[in-house]
Every structure is written in structure tokens, then in C-alpha cells.
């Protein structure tokens, strides 16, 4: 937990306000009420975070305090809070920290642009609430993804994608009055995130802090995986993998620049490891056209593959599901009939995720027509049989006295792959066709019409007697 010093001139008025009264001379509070209010207020304030502001030409501390804070002594104490000896000589581009309790209102840090699965957010003084698309995330709030994924977009266009079992705290974001934010710092106690920072000028800085190390970038794409210190005393570990640009990793007084295509590990209290080259991106087999089926070829050093299914959006990762497997093919089931993005990467024996291959997958389910394999008509009773069709939930069977089905005498929907039907008109012959029906309303083409003629037992007996007479004559 971060410790923040709260000036008494801001603490006392807020304490009285929290207790339903005002700090007036001659009015006192009981010790018990004061203690309860103090504990309640400190529990909130102690977890607050600083807000960062980058000086622009013409800025001064007095104007910044007047515009962004309600604290009367801000202009007197802000310089000391930032260890600034000469407040009148703050250069353009210098970043100052303003305690969140001084601010007139909480600052929006990011917007939730996608959520899948079980995810929540929480302010320091409130219980967790469900995370939803379109929601604003404030500085100091904590986001937790238990299942599924969440994607956040910051003011400068940077995005961060949280995987399952991840926890993220928004530490600080620079001023939004400017054309774009200049710096973002988040803490990742546990889990895995992917960060994409736009390449623009001036470059925004994005820092991901874990128990083991800090990864900082300016215009790049990288992943960070953080394992919290275990209960048995095992040190926490951080793994960073760089997909584009360069990432600066700092830990235990050591600093390394990690280039694209390499990964690095850091453990609490230990020196950084040497960079490890990431496995090449697998190659898709684009000749496969079966619905939902994907196939690829990866490096022989692959321990497993990580396959990700996403919404069809190339501007930001909106992860629907992730699966780890050792096979080099997979079939997605129960997909809606639309297009998706799929991404695959190899994972080596050290746990490093390799470079990624991404492609579009358009899923169109094929619903075949039934094949009428057996049909009989006897004494007006029609018996039909066909094999079960994949994706079909029921079948429609049409019976007509003509081949063009202009004179349909029966149209029946059944759940099974057999039909026994009594025909009232007892025709001597009929034509039969069938089609498959899916639960979502999809229908197949009709099968080829099958001609079914009624068996005549009398003709059969006459034929048998004739054969007997022929043999007797011989």
C-alpha cells in the first residue's frame, strides 16, 4: 500500500464533512466520533494515488492548483510535495505529482472497450462491481479478471489486454488537458497483459510495475506476465516478451533494453536474466476450409501452442477464448456464423510466448440434407430411415403424389432420423424428400426425391404360384 501525506488543512474539513458537520469554531466532536471518522477517511486516503501533470509553456503552480484542486494551500505545498526548490523555474515537460485527495474530481484513466467472462473493478473505498463495456476507469481503481478477458483503451490510444486470472491497478496517468496523455503507470500483482502503445510524437510512456520488475516503453507492443510471491516463500517472477520496438526492464538496480523478438525474466531481489530469443510465429495452413477448423506448423522446439479466438477487429484484441494445446490443429465448435480473428503462438520450455501469427476465420456452418437410405410403402403405411445429420436438430419430410411436389399430401417435422406415417389416401406410390433443420433457424437444401411404390402382395403370390406350375410341368 502506498503512503500519502495528507495536509491537516484538507484533512480536518473533510473529516467534519464526512461526519455530517462543518469545522466551526466553538463546535466540538466526541473522541469516539472523531476516531471513527478519522479511521474511515484515512482508509480511503491512504490507498489513493497521485495524479501526474506535465508542464506546458505558460504553466505555473498557482494556475494548476486553481484549475484542478479544491485545496486552498495547494500552491504553497505542491512544490514541497514534488521536492521542487524553485517553483517559478519549472521547465516545460517537467512532470509533477498532485495527490488525488486534493483534486476537484477523480480523473478518468481509460475506457473498457471489451469484456468477456467474469471481471470486476473496485475503488479503494468500495466493494467490487461488475466490469462492463463502455465503463470509465479512474486513477486508483483496481480491475480483476477471473475468467475470460478485458481490454482497456487509454486517452492516447494505448490499449492493454488482460488475460484470465489477472489483477491490474491504475497507479497514475498524466494530464488529459493536453492533446494526449504523456505517461501511464499500472501495477500488475498477478496475471498476464498485452500492451500496445501507439507510435506517435511526442511518444507516450507506459510503465507496467510488477513485484519483480518494471517494464517501460515508448511506442511498442509487448506482453508482461507476473507471478505473485508464493505463500511458501518462493520469490515472485516477471516475464516480459517484446513483439515490437524496445522495452526497458528494471529490477534490483539492474536495467536492460529488450528488443523485439526477445524475452526476459526477472525474480524478486535477483539480477535480470539474459534476453532469450522468442520462437518464430507458426505458419497457417490456409488450404483448410472445413468450418471452424484451423491448422498450422510450428517450431520443433515448441512445448505447447496458445490459440486465441477474437472478435473480428484488427484495431484492438477482443479475446473471446484462449486454449493451450500440443496438437497443431483445432476445431472451434458452436460458433455463430460470422467472421473472427484467430491468433497462434508457440510457447517454449521456459514458458516464453513466441511471436504471433494472426488470420481471419469466417465460420459458415454446413448443414447437409438427409440421405434417405431406406423407404417402404405397404397398405398405406410409409416407413422412412436416414442417417443423423451434423448440426441438425430436426427434419422436415414432404410426401407428394407427383415428382415436382405440386401435390403434397403430407409435410411432417420430426426430431428423430426415422419416420413411420399412415397415409389416409393409401396411394399406390409417392415421392419423398427431406431437409435438415437447425435450432437457430438454419435449413438445408432438400434431398433428391425418392420414388416409393407400394408392394402388392397379391402379385407376389401369383408370381410364386406361376413358378411352381412351371417347375411341375418340367
* Secondary structure (H, E, C), 293-357: EEEEECCCCCCEEEEEEEECCCCCCCEEEEEEECCCEEECCCCCCCEEEEEEEEECCCCCEEEEE
Instruction: Verify that 353 and 382 share a domain, yes or no.
Output: no
Which of residues 85 and 465 earns the better pLDDT score? 85
210 in a domain, yes or no?
Answer: no
Instruction: Verify that 63 and 28 share a domain, yes or no.
Output: yes
| Beta strands at 142-145 and 319-325: parallel, antiparallel or unpaired | unpaired
Instruction: Verify that 379 and 441 share a domain, yes or no.
Output: yes
Domain enclosing residue 313, as ranges: 283-362
Site of grid cell 479466438: 309
162 in a domain, yes or no?
Answer: no
Instruction: Verify that 405 and 426 share a domain, yes or no.
Output: yes
Residues in CB range of 73: below 8 A, 6 or more apart:
7, 9, 10
Centre a 10 Å sphere on the Cβ of residue 445 and count the other Cβ atoms it contains.
11
CA 180/CA 182 separation, integer angstroms: 6
Instruction: Verify that 383 and 417 share a domain, yes or no.
Output: yes
Query: Which one, of 144, 90, 84, lies nearest residue 118 by Cα?
Result: 144
CA 95/CA 91 separation, integer angstroms: 9
Residues in CB range of 254: below 8 A, 6 or more apart:
271, 272
Residue 51 belongs to a domain with what CATH number? 3.10.350.10
426 in a domain, yes or no?
Answer: yes
- Tell whether the torsion through CA atoms of 72, 75, 76 and 79 is positive or negative: positive
Instruction: Verify that 355 and 423 share a domain, yes or no.
Output: no
Q: Answer yes or no: is pLDDT of 405 > 60.
A: yes
How distant is the alpha carbon of residue 343 from its chain centre? 13
When pLDDT is averaged across residues 445-472 and rounded to a whole number, the result is: 73
Instruction: Verify that 387 and 433 share a domain, yes or no.
Output: yes
CA 240/CA 152 separation, integer angstroms: 19
* Domain C-terminal end among 85, 102, 119: 102
146 in a domain, yes or no?
Answer: no
Instruction: Verify that 386 and 432 share a domain, yes or no.
Output: yes
The listed range with the strongest mean pLDDT (31-35, 181-185, 188-192) is: 188-192
State whether residue 11 is helix, strand or coil. helix
Asked whether 258 and 220 are in contact (CB, 8 A), the reply is no
* Domain C-terminal end among 340, 362, 384: 362
Which long-range CB contacts under 8 A does 448-454 form with residues at least 24 apart? 449/403, 449/405, 450/372, 450/375, 451/403, 452/375, 452/376, 452/377, 452/382, 453/377, 453/428, 453/429, 454/377, 454/378, 454/379, 454/380, 454/427, 454/428, 454/429
Residue 430 belongs to a domain with what CATH number? 2.60.40.10
CA 163/CA 317 separation, integer angstroms: 11
464 in a domain, yes or no?
Answer: no
Instruction: Verify that 410 and 388 share a domain, yes or no.
Output: yes
Instruction: Verify that 358 and 376 share a domain, yes or no.
Output: no
Backbone angles phi, psi at 142, to 5 degrees: -115, 130
Q: Residue 234: its pLDDT value, please?
A: 55
Q: Residue 415: its pLDDT value, please?
A: 93
318 in a domain, yes or no?
Answer: yes
Lowest mean pLDDT among 36-40, 160-164, 204-208: 36-40
Q: Residue 46: its pLDDT value, please?
A: 37
When pLDDT is averaged across residues 52-56 and rounded to a whole number, the result is: 81
CA 65/CA 101 separation, integer angstroms: 13
Q: Residue 26: its pLDDT value, please?
A: 40
Which of residues 58 and 114 earns the better pLDDT score? 114
353 in a domain, yes or no?
Answer: yes
CA dihedral in degrees (180, 183, 185, 186; nearest 10)? Answer: 30
* Domain C-terminal end among 61, 86, 102: 102
Instruction: Verify that 349 and 408 share a domain, yes or no.
Output: no
Provide the number of structural domains found in the chain: 3
Residue 228 DSSP code: P
Instruction: Verify that 379 and 326 share a domain, yes or no.
Output: no
The listed range with the strongest mean pLDDT (26-40, 412-426, 456-470) is: 412-426
Query: Which one, of 410, 294, 396, 400, lies nearest residue 344 by Cα?
Result: 294
Centre a 10 Å sphere on the Cβ of residue 439 and count the other Cβ atoms it contains.
9
Lowest mean pLDDT among 93-97, 160-164, 247-251, 306-310: 93-97
CA 244/CA 252 separation, integer angstroms: 25
Q: Answer yes or no: is pLDDT of 219 > 90.
A: no
Q: What is the pLDDT of residues 317-327, one digit of tens each?
A: 999 999 999 99
Claim: this prediction has a pTM higher than 0.75: no
Amino acid at each position: 500500500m502506498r503512503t500519502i501525506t495528507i495536509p491537516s488543512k484538507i484533512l480536518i474539513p473533510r473529516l467534519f464533512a464526512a461526519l455530517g458537520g462543518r469545522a466551526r469554531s466553538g463546535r466540538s466532536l466526541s473522541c469516539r466520533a472523531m476516531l471513527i471518522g478519522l479511521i474511515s477517511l484515512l482508509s480511503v486516503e491512504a490507498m489513493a494515488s497521485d495524479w501526474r501533470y506535465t508542464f506546458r509553456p505558460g504553466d505555473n503552480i498557482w494556475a494548476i492548483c486553481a484549475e484542478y484542486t479544491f485545496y486552498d494551500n495547494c500552491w504553497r505545498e505542491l512544490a514541497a510535495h514534488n521536492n521542487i526548490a524553485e517553483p517559478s523555474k519549472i521547465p516545460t515537460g517537467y512532470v509533477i505529482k498532485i495527490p488525488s485527495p486534493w483534486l476537484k474530481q477523480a480523473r478518468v484513466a481509460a475506457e473498457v472497450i471489451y469484456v468477456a467472462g467474469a471481471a470486476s473493478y473496485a475503488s479503494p473505498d468500495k466493494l467490487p462491481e461488475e466490469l462492463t463495456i463502455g465503463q470509465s476507469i479512474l486513477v486508483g481503481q483496481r480491475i480483476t479478471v477471473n475468467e475470460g478477458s478485458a481490454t482497456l483503451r487509454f486517452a492516447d490510444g494505448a490499449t492493454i489486454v488482460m488475460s484470465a486470472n489477472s489483477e491490474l491497478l491504475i497507479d497514475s496517468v498524466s494530464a488529459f488537458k493536453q492533446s494526449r496523455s504523456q505517461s501511464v503507470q499500472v501495477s500488475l500483482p498477478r496475471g498476464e497483459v498485452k500492451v500496445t502503445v501507439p507510435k506517435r510524437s511526442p511518444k507516450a510512456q507506459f510503465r507496467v510495475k510488477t513485484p519483480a520488475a518494471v517494464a517501460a516503453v515508448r511506442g511498442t507492443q509487448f506482453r508482461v506476465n507476473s507471478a505473485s510471491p508464493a505463500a511458501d516463500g518462493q520469490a515472485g517472477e516477471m516475464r516480459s516478451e517484446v513483439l515490437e520496438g524496445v522495452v526497458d526492464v528494471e529490477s534490483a538496480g539492474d536495467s536492460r533494453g529488450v528488443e523485439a523478438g526477445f524475452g526476459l525474466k526477472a525474480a524478486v531481489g535477483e539480477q535480470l536474466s539474459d534476453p532469450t530469443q522468442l520462437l518464430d510465429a507458426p505458419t497457417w495452413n490456409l488450404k483448410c476450409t472445413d468450418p471452424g477448423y484451423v491448422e498450422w506448423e510450428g517450431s520443433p522446439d515448441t512445448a505447447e501452442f496458445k490459440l486465441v479466438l477474437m472478435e473480428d477487429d484488427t484495431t484492438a484484441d477482443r479475446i473471446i477464448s484462449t486454449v493451450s494445446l500440443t496438437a497443431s490443429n483445432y476445431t472451434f465448435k458452436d460458433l455463430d456464423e460470422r467472421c473472427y480473428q484467430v491468433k497462434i503462438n508457440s510457447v517454449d520450455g521456459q514458458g516464453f510466448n513466441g511471436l504471433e501469427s494472426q488470420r481471419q476465420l469466417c465460420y459458415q456452418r454446413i448443414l447437409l440434407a438427409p440421405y434417405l437410405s431406406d423407404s417402404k410403402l405397404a397398405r398405406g403405411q410409409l416407413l422412412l430411415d436416414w442417417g443423423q445429420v451434423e448440426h441438425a436438430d430436426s427434419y422436415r419430410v414432404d410426401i407428394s403424389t407427383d415428382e415436382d411436389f405440386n401435390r403434397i399430401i403430407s409435410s411432417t417435422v420430426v426430431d428423430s432420423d426415422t419416420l413411420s406415417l399412415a397415409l389416409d389416401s393409401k396411394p399406390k406410390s409417392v415421392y419423398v424428400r427431406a431437409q435438415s433443420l437447425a435450432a437457430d433457424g438454419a435449413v438445408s437444401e432438400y434431398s433428391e426425391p425418392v420414388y416409393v411404390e407400394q408392394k402388392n402382395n397379391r402379385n407376389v403370390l401369383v408370381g410364386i404360384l406361376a413358378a411352381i406350375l412351371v417347375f411341375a410341368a418340367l
